[in-house]
């Protein structure tokens, strides 16, 4: 197999808080009449596995191609499954639920769920947009449990105004929520375990409240975490944690960046367009909204046709 940059078919998720911005901003062909909150760009979960959409490997899942060509794709012939990233683009037309994801120790202690650490890169933000990131210093488990009963959970959270280009890191155990009017690239570990504690007294189209997971959430939240531990980055290395590393790039029209073999990387394009050229592969075009996996054995260059902002994700 001659390695080449891999594009994937998106997996769309209808959400009560979603909208149509993925189509308006990135030209994605959304299902008609549905509020699409999430486009899963790269996933390797049992029920949702990305399928390659270009080249000779088209039709194979991310799992299948790594099992078949582990060294060429990942650089490691013994690369473990599943693929260790889940990459989404989120359209929060309305506010998301207040939620938390467990860490490995909580999953082991409770015997349920999969751990999840994530980050949010703000692609665009409406005026006055906010996120809720972590608990106010000093909030105890008992105080938070009372706030759940009284419907005052928002008063316990740190409310953070956000703007385009910011990256917010949320380690497992952080209580959080995305506010309305945000388009976000979410990079995370491969887990869909989400424990909701508050959903703003919202009802779905059938008049039903969404399920809450209060007991699991209270077990998962890190009440000793300080809000000072949850920083924000806007340039260069945005995230450097044990699960993934994220770097922000910005290239002008007609610039070219070399891609050396040796390390697998995922490119997420926020704006612009261009072509990835390989020494032994056909050119692969990209545009804003694309997520492309560059195999470890690939050698070539990215040629930018427009002013382009993008993220590079490595393990």
Give the span between the Cα atoms of 303 and 315, in whole angstroms: 24
3-state secondary structure of 71: helix
126 to each of 173, 178, 182, how far by Cα in Å? 27, 13, 6
Residue 149 CA to its chain's centroid (Å) = 31
Residue tagged active-site, from 35, 196, 210, 237 = 196
- Among 213, 222, 186, which Cα is nearest to 85's? 186
Q: Is 196 a catalytic residue?
A: yes
d(CA 163, CA 155): 22
CA dihedral over 236, 241, 242, 245, signed as positive or negative: negative
Handedness of CA 275, 42, 85, 73 (dihedral sign): negative
| Active site amino acids | 196
């Amino acid at each position: 197999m001659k390695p080449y940059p891999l594009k994937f078919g998106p997996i769309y998720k209808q959400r009560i808080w979603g909208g149509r911005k993925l189509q308006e901003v990135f030209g994605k062909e959304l299902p008609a009449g549905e509020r699409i909150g999430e486009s899963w760009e790269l996933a390797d979960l049992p029920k949702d596995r990305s399928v390659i959409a270009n080249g000779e490997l088209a039709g194979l899942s991310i799992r299948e191609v790594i099992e078949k060509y582990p060294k060429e794709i990942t650089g490691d012939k013994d690369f473990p499954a599943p693929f260790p990233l889940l990459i989404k683009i989120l359209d929060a037309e309305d506010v998301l639920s207040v939620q938390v994801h467990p860490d490995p120790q909580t999953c082991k202690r409770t015997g349920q769920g999969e751990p999840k650490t994530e980050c949010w890169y703000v692609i665009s933000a409406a005026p006055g947009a906010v996120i809720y990131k972590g608990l106010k210093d000093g909030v105890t488990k008992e105080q938070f449990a009372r706030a759940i009963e009284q419907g005052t959970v928002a008063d316990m959270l740190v409310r953070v105004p956000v703007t385009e280009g910011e990256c917010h890191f949320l380690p497992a155990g952080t209580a959080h929520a995305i506010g309305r009017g945000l388009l976000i690239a979410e990079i995370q570990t491969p887990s869909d375990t989400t424990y909701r504690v508050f959903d703003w007294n919202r009802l779905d189209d059938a008049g039903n409240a969404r399920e809450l997971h209060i007991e699991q959430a209270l077990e998962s939240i890190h009440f000793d975490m300080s809000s000072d531990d949850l920083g924000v980055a806007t340039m260069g290395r945005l995230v450097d944690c044990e699960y993934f590393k994220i770097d922000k790039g910005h290239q002008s029209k007609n610039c070219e960046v070399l891609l050396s073999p040796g390390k697998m990387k995922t490119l997420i394009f926020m704006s612009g367009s261009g072509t990835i050229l390989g020494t032994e592969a056909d050119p692969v075009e990209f545009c804003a909204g694309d997520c492309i996996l560059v195999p470890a054995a690939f050698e070539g260059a990215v040629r930018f046709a427009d002013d382009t902002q993008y993220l590079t994700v490595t393990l």
